[in-house]
Amino acid sequence: MKTSALVCCVFIGCFAASTALARGLCVNTRQVTTDDDINALITESIEELMSRTITTASKHEESRDCSPATTLVITAEQIRERHYVNLVDLLEDVPSVNIQRASRSSSYNNVSIRGHVNSNTFLILQDGVRIDSPMGGEIPVADNFPLYHAKQVEILMGPVAALYGADAFAGVINIITEDEKPRHSTAAVSVSQGRDDYKYYQGLGVLRFNDKVSLTLSGHSHQTDNDDLAALYPAQFAKVDARTFAGDVVIPAREREDYQGGVKSNSAFLKLNLGDDLTLGYQHSFFSSLTSTGDLPSTALYLPQGQWNTQIDTAYLKYKTDLSDRLSTELLLNYSRFEVDPLSKYQNIYVNFADDGYQYAKGDKRSISQQFNYLLSDEHLLLGGVVYDNLYALPQTPSLPQPYDRNRSPQDQGLYYSNTDIPIPILDMTYHNTALYAQLQSNWNERLSTTLGLRYDNNSRYDASLNPRLGLVYRLSEQTTLRGLYGEAFRAPSPKESFSTYGSFSGEQDEQGRYIGIKFRSPNFDLQPEKSRSLSVGVDHLFNADLHLSANAYYTQVDNLIVSQDEAVPIQYIPNAILSQSSVKENAGEEQHYGFDLILSAQRRFSAQWQASLWGSYSFADGSIKDSVQGMAWDLPYLSRHKIKLGSTWRYLQKYVITPQLYLIGSTNSARQDKHNLGHRIKTAGYVLGHLHLGAENVLPNLSAYLSFYNLFDTRYYAAAGSSSTTFTAMPQAGRSVIFSLRYQF
C-alpha cells in the first residue's frame, strides 16, 4: 500500500547546530524519549529539540552539532504522528531521496539516496548492528523494516566507510531502540485496517524484573492485496498473449489471469538488558511480494504462487565497560542470516511461462568487533577498533525446475536446466574480512572542531581497501554553523553480482548437439569493489528558537562502477551448450552525482491549546553515468532533478493532531536509455501527491485512534522503472487508500 508523509520541523531542522557553543568534547546526554515525556517534547522549541544525542555519526554519543556530515534524526513522536509504518515510508520524506514504489521484482521498492541507486548502497542498522543482508546485495526495503519499536531513527548522509566499512556508500540508517531501563513494565498493541484487505497488527511489551534487568519484546504481522492496478490502468494491464522469446503463444489473451499484487510481512524484536553493560538482541524480518512486480503483462504471469520471499535474522551480544576514567571499550558478537525461500519462483518469459523457475539464495555472517574510546584530553577523543567477519554465501541460483532441497549440499541437488540434460551448477563459497579503523575528534576552541578517520579492510574475495574521512565544523556565531566533509567509501561486489547466472534454453540444439541458450548472465570471479570520493558542505542558520534554515551541497565521483555489459563473444561457461547472447557484470563504468538541499522549518504556539509545525524543502540533484564500452555519459537512473516537499502538523490540546503533506516531484529518469535522445533516459512524468493524517491521543483512557489518507486526491501517477524490454519503464502506482488504526497502551 502507498504510505507517505513528510517530516516535521524537527526532522528537517536536524541539519542545524545547537546555538550553544560547545566546550570540551561534543557529548550531550540529554534524551526525551519515553511516552511519559511526549507532552514535554511537543512543547519544546526547534532549538531545544536539536540538542538530542546521536551515536551513528561517530560510533559514540555526541551532540549533533559536532558532526561534519548531514545527519537527520526522526523521533518516535514524529513516527507516530505521521504514521511512518516502515522505513521506506520515512525515507520517502528525506531530502535527496527518491523512492520508486512497487517497481522491481526481487527488491520491490527502489531506493535512491543522493543519486546512489538500490538498497546495496547504504547500510541499515539497529542499535548499531547491521540488520540488512549480511553479504550485501539488493533486498526489499518495505514493511520488513518496521518502526513500531523505534525511539528514534538516525540517518547519516554520505560515505562512512571510514567507520562502517563496505557498502556505507550513500549513507547509514540506524534504528535506535530504547536503552534506558523502564520505570515499570508496560505494553501496547495496535490494529490497523484498510481497503484492499489491508491488515496490520503489532504489539510491544517491556518487562522490568528489577533495577538492572529488563526485557523488550515486539512483533508485527501485515498483509494487503494492494490496489487492483488493472482497474485503475486498463491500458497498461490489458490481457495479451503470453509468448516466448521465439514468438510462440503459450497462453492466449482470453485465458490470461487477473492482476495480482499482494504483499505480506512480519517481524519480531527482542532485547534483554542485563545490568548497565550487557545486552542481548535479536531481530527477525520477513517480506513477500510477487516476482512479477514491475513486469509487463506480455512477459510475466500475475499468479499468487509466484512469490519472492526473503527472511533476515540477526542476533547479537554487546558488552561495554569502562576500563578507566578515560578508557572505555565495547565488544560486539554478531550472527546474521539471509535466505530466499526455496519456494520463491518466477513464472515469466525466461522460463517460457509453462515452466516453474524456482530460485534460492542464502548466506550468513559471524562477526566479532572490539572498539576502544580513549579520552586524550577534554578536547580530544580517539576511538579505534578491530573487526573480523566470517561469511558464507550461496548466491542466487539460476532458475530451477523444482525447489532447492535444504537437506542436500549445493553440489548434490541433481537439477538440470529446463529442456536439456545439462546439470545446473550451484556455487557457494566461504570468505572473510578483517578491518582496522581509527578516528580522532578534536575541539580546538569554542568555534572549530575537526574529525579525522581511516579504515583498512582486507577481504579474501577482492582487493584490500583504505578509506579516509576528514571533517570540519566551524561556528561563525551562535546562530550560524559551517560544515565540510570529505570521505571515501567502497561498495563490495555482492556474491550475486559476481557469481549468479541466469538464462533459458528452448531445447533447440545446433549441428553438434549443443543446446542453444539465449539471454544468459555469465559469472565474473574477478569483480572488484566500486570506489567513491565525496565532498559535502553545509550551512545552518537559526534565526530564532523556532525558525531554522539549512543549505547542503554535495559532489560524488564513483570509479570502478559495476555495470552490465553485453558480451561481443559470449563466455561459454556451460558444458555441452552454446550461448548465443550473454551479458556479464564488469568494473567498466564511472559515475558522478551532485546536488543541494534547501530546508526551512518553523514552529509556532498560537495559544495554550494550539501549536503548529511547518516545513518545506527543495532538493536538486543531477549527474551522469558511463561505461568504457559505449564511452557515452547518460543521465543517472531513478533520479528526479527537482523535488519539493511541504507539510505541517497542527496540535490541539496536545491531544488531537492533523498533518497534511504535499509532494511535488519533477520528472524522473527511468533506467532505460532513450535511443532517440542519446545521453538521456526515458523519463517518467512528474506528479503532485497529497496525504492527510489525523490522530487523537487517549480519546478513551489509554486508547488512541488514527486515520490516514494516502494519495488523498486519488492521483494517477507512475514510478520510474526498469531498463529491460520485459519491464515497465513507468510503473503505475496505487490510488487513494484509507487506513484506520487503534492503539491501546496497557
Three-state DSSP at 350 gives helix
Please give the C-alpha separations between residue 201 and each of 26, 166, 189, 194, 692, in angstroms, as whole numbers.
Answer: 40, 35, 8, 12, 21
Instruction: Report, as an integer, the average pLDDT of 480-484.
Output: 94
Q: How sure is the predictor about 2, in pLDDT bands with cuts at 50, 70 and 90? A: very low
Question: Where do the DSSP E strands lie in 239-351?
Answer: 242-243, 249-251, 263-274, 278-290, 307-322, 327-340, 345-346
Q: How sure is the predictor about 48, in pLDDT bands with cuts at 50, 70 and 90? A: low
Distance from C-alpha of 204 to C-alpha of 218, rounded to nearest angstrom: 4
pLDDT attached to residue 568: 84
**Per-residue pLDDT tens over the stretch 263-281:** 999 999 999 999 889 999 9
Question: Where do the DSSP E strands lie in 606-641?
Answer: 610-627, 634-635
pLDDT attached to residue 413: 95
- Which residues are CB-contacts of 517 (< 8 A; sequence separation ≥ 6)? 417, 503, 504, 505, 574, 577, 578, 579, 580
Distance from C-alpha of 428 to C-alpha of 40, rounded to nearest angstrom: 54
pLDDT attached to residue 180: 62
Q: How sure is the predictor about 31, in pLDDT bands with cuts at 50, 70 and 90? A: very low
pLDDT attached to residue 39: 41
Strand partners, 599: 550, 617
Instruction: Report, as an integer, the average pLDDT of 722-746.
Output: 94
pLDDT attached to residue 338: 97
Q: Could you tell me which of 646, 592, 637, 653 has the C-alpha nearest to residue 619?
A: 646
Among 11-25, 27-41, 262-276, 295-309, whose mean pLDDT is lowest? 11-25
Given a cut of 80, whether residue 602 has pLDDT beyond it is yes
**Per-residue pLDDT tens over the stretch 98-148:** 999 999 988 999 999 999 998 999 999 999 999 999 999 899 999 999 999
Per-domain residue ranges for the chain?
9-745
**Per-residue pLDDT tens over the stretch 377-430:** 999 999 999 999 999 999 999 999 999 999 999 999 999 998 899 999 999 999
**What is the chain's length?**
746
Q: How sure is the predictor about 23, in pLDDT bands with cuts at 50, 70 and 90? A: very low
Given a cut of 60, whether residue 33 has pLDDT beyond it is no
- Which residues are CB-contacts of 104 (< 8 A; sequence separation ≥ 6)? 110, 293, 294, 721, 722
pLDDT attached to residue 46: 72
Instruction: Kindly tell me the burial class for residue 639, based on how many C-beta atoms sit within 10 Å of its own C-beta (0-12, 13-18, 19 or more).
Output: buried
Q: Are 622 and 643 in contact (CB under 8 A)?
A: no
Distance from C-alpha of 108 to C-alpha of 406, rounded to nearest angstrom: 25
pLDDT attached to residue 252: 95
pLDDT attached to residue 58: 85
**Per-residue pLDDT tens over the stretch 534-576:** 999 999 999 988 899 999 999 999 999 998 888 888 889 999 9
Level-2 CATH architecture, domain 9-745: Beta Barrel (2.40)
- Percent of the chain exceeding pLDDT 90 equals 71
Q: How sure is the predictor about 291, in pLDDT bands with cuts at 50, 70 and 90? A: very high
What is the residue-wise DSSP string for 352-401?
TTTS-EE--EEEEEEEEEEEEEEEEETTEEEEEEEEEEEEEEEPPPPPBS
Q: What is the mean pLDDT of the chain?
A: 89
For 143, phi and psi rounded to 5 degrees? Answer: -70, -5
Given a cut of 80, whether residue 26 has pLDDT beyond it is no
**What type of residue is 727?**
T
pLDDT attached to residue 724: 85
pLDDT attached to residue 28: 38
Higher pLDDT among residues 554 and 627, named by residue: 554
Residue where the block lists cell 548499531: 128
Three-state DSSP at 40 gives helix
Three-state DSSP at 572 gives coil
**What type of residue is 588?**
A
pLDDT attached to residue 683: 96
pLDDT attached to residue 581: 83
- Which residues are CB-contacts of 707 (< 8 A; sequence separation ≥ 6)? 693, 694, 695, 738, 739, 740, 741
pLDDT attached to residue 564: 87
Given a cut of 90, whether residue 211 has pLDDT beyond it is no
Q: Are 557 and 532 in contact (CB under 8 A)?
A: yes
Higher pLDDT among residues 240 and 61, named by residue: 240
Three-state DSSP at 535 gives strand
Given a cut of 80, whether residue 50 has pLDDT beyond it is no
Distance from C-alpha of 502 to C-alpha of 518, rounded to nearest angstrom: 10
Instruction: Report, as an integer, the average pLDDT of 301-329.
Output: 95
Instruction: Report, as an integer, the average pLDDT of 614-635.
Output: 88
Q: Are 712 and 690 in contact (CB under 8 A)?
A: yes
Residue where the block lists cell 555519526: 57
Q: Tell me the pairing of strands 249-251 and 718-720.
A: unpaired
Given a cut of 90, whether residue 18 has pLDDT beyond it is no
Q: Could you tell me which of 33, 40, 18, 36 has the C-alpha nearest to residue 74?
A: 33
For 338, phi and psi rounded to 5 degrees? Answer: -125, 140
Q: How sure is the predictor about 629, in pLDDT bands with cuts at 50, 70 and 90? A: low
**Per-residue pLDDT tens over the stretch 630-646:** 678 999 999 999 999 99
pLDDT attached to residue 313: 98
Among 35-49, 110-124, 436-450, 533-547, whose mean pLDDT is lowest? 35-49
Q: Are 330 and 279 in contact (CB under 8 A)?
A: no
Instruction: Report, as an integer, the average pLDDT of 300-323.
Output: 95
Distance from C-alpha of 603 to C-alpha of 613, rounded to nearest angstrom: 4
**Per-residue pLDDT tens over the stretch 496-533:** 999 988 888 888 899 899 999 888 889 999 999 999 99
Distance from C-alpha of 584 to C-alpha of 607, rounded to nearest angstrom: 64
